[in-house]
Amino acid sequence: MAKLKGNAVVGQSGGPTCVINQSLVGVITECRKHPEITGLFGAVEGVKGILNENFYDLMKEKPASLEAVAATPGAALRSVRKKPTAEECQKMFEIFKKYGVRYFFYIGGNDSAETANIVNQMAARENYELRVFHVPKTIDNDLLVTDHCPGYGSAAKFVAAAIAGDGLDNESLQGIKIDIIMGRHAGCRPAAARLARTEPDTAPHLIYVPERPFIMKNFLADVDRVYKKLGRCLIAVSEGIADANGDPVYKSKEVDAHGNVQLSGTGALGDFLAAEIRANLGEKLRVRADTFGYLQRSFPGFASEVDAKEARQVGIHAVKHACKNNSDGSISIIRKPGKKYAVEYVLTPLASVAKHTKSLPDEFINAEGNDITDAFVRYALPLVGKMPVVKRLAGKMLKKRS
């Protein structure tokens, strides 16, 4: 069969990550190896760029500087939080025809996979030959089929390192520290805090994810127990925690011990939990709260090497499948059996990753719902790769003199 000749469009969608440009550069470098791809257009701001016909001419990028672009956080093509309507998908398809586009690579999460699927179905209905690939990306690690998502390993590494360092800070000055970790629905990012615990008494001492109801009474008892034992307690909390009714914890009036109206805000949950601890366990306790924001997905020079490599590979494999196998789909990362971490990149249908997402598996959460299990550590540690070494003094006490 003759190779499908034409132009390719690549775009980036949704929240950026530290390695989303690795996937982009994977697509660019691989496209250049296939002469049937005659032009390579970068959609500026994802589907918005396609609809507005704003494209970078990526064939004009100097190959020498692409490695630096790949290592740069953020979406080099800029991104968009937009799920196009059916009409917009139709318009995108018309623009593809106008620009002689025969290949479309869309880097993003489940919504992007759905967009890609809709455009692909339109092309099939009109018998317009188009190869459409979704290239997976999300720090929430919530895509179906794949073992894990490019972007997650680096976000998890940042969270684990941040908790390790903050735990040492808390150990220095003692007291109670609350770290709120962004990620509204899936607990996989807050769970990564668990990777910081290298000894039984190092931080984090408690972890709460949105997959379990947050019961204030139990939380306070947990904190009290740890604090009484160690003189300190570091708690990792998902911003998405909700009570047994599914209501966000800091909006729940019944647990407000102060009669204050809690304003929503970037620090509201952490401040609220800190106030509850002081009100119930002692007003004089040293309690602090931080909220980890956008740094989790954008901090430069700290990506997981494994994550960076895999993000590049999913981009490369998408182009290879499109060109060599004449197929559409999404690239999933499948972990090979065996003790040593190894993966393969597998083609999966667009529909299999579109729309739906997955939660943190049950076996990764302990029975009490206040910690993350060793099974998660075995799963996640290879994705994070090399962590900074931290070490305490041996700390043998000198005998007191009388």
Give the active site residues: 140
304: CB partners within 8 A, 6+ apart: 19, 153, 154, 156, 157, 383, 384, 385
In the bound state with its own copies, the residue whose beta carbon lies nearer, of 99 and 345, is: 99
Q: Compute CA 199 distance to the chain's CA centroid, rounded to the nearest angstrom.
A: 26
Comparing CB distances to its own copies, the nearer of 18 and 343 is: 18
Closest CB 102 distance from its own copies, rounded Å: 15
Distance CA 137, CA 340 (A): 24
For its own copies, the closer of residues 29 and 218 by Cβ is 29
C-alpha 92/C-alpha 123 separation (Å) is: 11
**Closest separation between CB of residue 66 and its own copies, Å?**
9
* Residue 179 C-beta: closest distance to its own copies, Å: 9
Q: Which two tokens stand for residue 144?
A: 């179906």
Burial code (b: 16+ CB inside 10 Å, e: under 16) for 47-59 equals bbbbbeeebbebb
Of residues 18 and 89, the one with the C-beta less far from its own copies: 18
Output the smallest distance, CB 311 to its own copies, in A: 15
Distance CA 344, CA 299 (A): 28
DSSP 127-168: T---EEEEEE--TT--BSSSSS-TTHHHHHHHHHHHHHHHHH
